A = this chain, B = another copy of it.
Amino acid sequence: MTPIPLPAYEQVKAFVKAQINLGVWRPGDAVPSEAALQHQFGVSRMTVNRAVKELAVEGVVTRVQGSGTVVAQLHRISSTLAVRDIHEEIVERGHIHSTTVLLVETVRADAALAQTFNVRVGTKVFHSAQVHCEDGVAIQFEDRYVNPASAPHYLDADLTQTTSTHYLLEHAPLTEASYSIEAALPTASEAKALGINKSAACLVMKRRTISGTRVASFARLVYPGTRYSFSGNFQL
């Protein structure tokens, strides 16, 4: 099968995972100590340590210093939900990305915006709205507010040539982000811009990005439920 033999640490990982998947070791059971595995496989402790450490990172086992390693109670069904630049995402699927810029303006922060950006009410904030299309079909409405302190020249950006996500990553290095995904009906203007019915369910992602010590941007991304979905795969 594999002309190139697996690295030693992968063999150790495979062995441990096999015991778990076959039900030989059940959740809560102890996994052999590093010393035991070291002798069993005839490898150094560093190698065994790497194998088990990676399994711990993957959530397959739980380690407690001084106590030992046990099979994780609930193999959590988790996977990395990657939030990418919409342009890259579309191009990677081999499709054509186009965008219509609906609005670019400067506004004064109201109470809600001020709280989001952690600034005083009345502070200037940039605002843009656009629709992203994949092969001509609208799949995302992007309503974004940008902190001028993080990207002072945001209004000069040509959003038809560079996505705002990309522009911001270039000009305000990302240090932190938080998001939420929920379902909602579109507003009247969103429905119109997306070309969908007002009663069509949409995925709404709200995302706040932080650059350094400042809140750099807040975006509300609306996806028609029938045209877009998040998906993921999880192994182990």
Contact = CB atoms under 8 A, between A and B. Distances in A.
Given A184-B201, A225-B201, A74 B230 contact: no
B80 A80 contact: yes
Nearest to A82: B78
Contacts of A170: 27
Given A177-B233, A183-B225, A84 B76 contact: yes
Interface in A195-235: 199, 201-203, 207, 209, 212, 223, 225-226, 228-235
Q: How many identical subunits does the complex contain?
A: 2
Contact of A178 (B223, B229, B231): B231
Contacts of A79: 80-81, 177, 179
Contacts of A201: 183-185, 201-202, 225
A180 B231 contact: yes
Contacts of A175: 21, 235-236
A207 B77 CA distance: 10
A76 B81 contact: no
A152 interface: no
Contact of A229 (B85, B88, B173, B181): B181
Interface string A79-100: 1111111001000000000000
A110 interface: no
Nearest to A227: B182
A208 to B, nearest CB: 10
A191 B79 CA distance: 29
A75 B210 CA distance: 13
3 closest Cβ pairs, A-B complex: A183-B225, A182-B229, A201-B201
